[in-house]
Chain A
């Protein structure tokens, strides 16, 4: 399953860059560009490491997502989804950020430290609405098992999809999505021009390659999670892929409409609107049940 995730993730990276290019009236990168980038980064002659923890951090970042992939059900393959459940998944999704923080910490670059502190604050911001959404959905389905959630949603066609049953929670989830992906209005922690790409400032060669791989996994994970919770999972591969690509394309398409939020503004925004909508949704769920 991680292999599938990687391939799909590569395609998603390509799609995002294409969308961004089209929005700016450019042609965009060629079809295999993400592959070229990763091969190039791994084949650099100079690989500057700042020590053990730097390397471990990248391994944690990639490994956390690989572990998360095994818990995400895809059509025909449930993996560990039966046993793990969404709570384990939520924990696993935090590992990459923490791994990154460890790795960046050892680089001892001030720009990196600023970047990672912003990234962790951002995590704090989007995790609260995210947990609300996860909690509400498990309450309403009466299970924390992702495979069972899909089964429940597929019983009666589109009528039983999470997005129809619990539109408020779905809306809150959609608001959190760009923040989880670190996409445009919320990309203050990478801020290329001010703090030189923040956490990535000391990452070159294979370290940067590892982060590129991580990004593929991240896009895939977020896409699949949203599809599983709200869009009824995938009946077959075709509809599954279609759904996850649409989910990932949404935040990118609206990304350039907003100016970038500062960290504290982002915190305020995330704790106000998605949390409000999420709480309302939760109340609705609890009254219904």
Chain B
């Protein structure tokens, strides 16, 4: 990508400042009047919090602490947390460590394919602020500029106890209905897309149509559409199904 440019520290600071104003979460949900409906919602949220399938897209060194957290010693399954392998079935996206620009593209594709409600957990200091890769030209520093992160688990690298503790905080948040960050992605799509375009170039496009999806969930705010989504529409190429052949068309890959 020709437009790639590393962010200077000053850019970063400005963005951080702008961010807090932009990343707001608008609550559209009507208050439930029927007491039974509240009970039902509570039950559903409880089940959601007790059964989390996580997609461990292992990006960096932090991933090495996940196997112990899953197996005999710390056993995540007793909390109802299981690894899953496809984004369609997953609830949690674990980002375990530094994210290179190339990896970030895959992460965003994966995130957009997950079924809502979905949660992102940033493990490791590298996802918080770049960590020891701060000066690297090839890593995306602050994860929450590109995706709405629910929980950060800081540390270099955090121990399994810390990971499980973080997951328990997320469970509490889901149970009480506070973990609604996935709506932020739809409500502030322009902001996230803008940051993505800055990194990947103007032609950046994912196969998932976020704007229609936001319309479907009724999550359109004034921050969903903006100059970045206009740029996307200008460049957007219609998606086509890949032709299926049995010949070796190597050059297509």
Interface residues of A (CB under 8 A from B): 17, 21, 24-30, 32-33, 35-37, 39-40, 43-48, 108, 192-193, 196-197, 200-205, 208
Contact of A30 among B80, B83, B85, B213 (CB under 8 A): B80
Q: In the complex, are the beta carbons of B116 and A44 less than 8 A apart? A: yes
Q: How far is the CB of A107 from chain B (nearest CB, A)?
A: 9
Enumerate chain B residues within 8 angstroms of A25, measured Cβ to Cβ.
Answer: 72
Known interface pairs A26-B72, A28-B78, A45-B116; A200-B86 also in contact (CB < 8 Å):
yes
Q: In the complex, are the beta carbons of B47 and A26 less than 8 A apart? A: no
Compute how far the CA of A4 lies from the CA of B47 in the bound complex, rounded to whole angstroms: 22
Compute how far the CA of A221 lies from the CA of B49 in the bound complex, rounded to whole angstroms: 31
Q: In the complex, are the beta carbons of A27 and B80 less than 8 A apart? A: no
Compute how far the CA of A197 lies from the CA of B50 in the bound complex, rounded to whole angstroms: 22
Q: Which residue of chain B has its CB nearest to the CB of A204?
A: B88
Enumerate chain A residues within 8 angstroms of B75, measured Cβ to Cβ.
Answer: 21, 26-28
Residues of B1-58 whose CB lies within 8 A of A = 43-44, 47-48, 50-51
A-B contact pairs, 14 of them (CB 8 A): A29-B77, A30-B78, A32-B50, A39-B43, A39-B44, A40-B50, A40-B91, A44-B115, A46-B114, A193-B85, A196-B85, A197-B84, A197-B86, A202-B88
Known interface pairs A48-B88, A204-B115; A29-B47 also in contact (CB < 8 Å):
no
Compute how far the CA of A200 lies from the CA of B75 in the bound complex, rounded to whole angstroms: 25
Q: In the complex, are the beta carbons of A36 and B117 less than 8 A apart? A: no
Q: How far is the CB of B218 from chain A (nearest CB, A)?
A: 11
Known interface pairs A39-B44, A197-B86, A201-B86; A28-B77 also in contact (CB < 8 Å):
yes
Q: In the complex, are the beta carbons of A48 and B85 less than 8 A apart? A: no
Enumerate chain B residues within 8 angstroms of A24, measured Cβ to Cβ.
Answer: 71-72
Residues of B178-219 whose CB lies within 8 A of A = 213, 217
Compute how far the CA of A35 lies from the CA of B85 in the bound complex, rounded to whole angstroms: 21
Enumerate chain A residues within 8 angstroms of B103, measured Cβ to Cβ.
Answer: none
Enumerate chain A residues within 8 angstroms of B48, measured Cβ to Cβ.
Answer: 40, 43
Q: In the complex, are the beta carbons of B80 and A26 less than 8 A apart? A: no
Enumerate chain B residues within 8 angstroms of A200, measured Cβ to Cβ.
Answer: 86, 89
Enumerate chain A residues within 8 angstroms of B72, measured Cβ to Cβ.
Answer: 24-26
Enumerate chain A residues within 8 angstroms of B47, measured Cβ to Cβ.
Answer: 35-36, 39-40, 43
Known interface pairs A45-B116, A46-B116; A26-B78 also in contact (CB < 8 Å):
yes
Q: In the complex, are the beta carbons of A30 and B50 less than 8 A apart? A: yes
Residues of B63-85 whose CB lies within 8 A of A = 71-72, 75, 77-78, 80, 83-85
Known interface pairs A45-B115, A46-B115; A203-B89 also in contact (CB < 8 Å):
yes
Enumerate chain A residues within 8 angstroms of B241, measured Cβ to Cβ.
Answer: 108
Enumerate chain B residues within 8 angstroms of A27, measured Cβ to Cβ.
Answer: 75, 77-78
Enumerate chain B residues within 8 angstroms of A21, measured Cβ to Cβ.
Answer: 75, 77
Enumerate chain A residues within 8 angstroms of B89, measured Cβ to Cβ.
Answer: 197, 200, 203-204, 208
Contact of B88 among A40, A45, A201 (CB under 8 A): A201
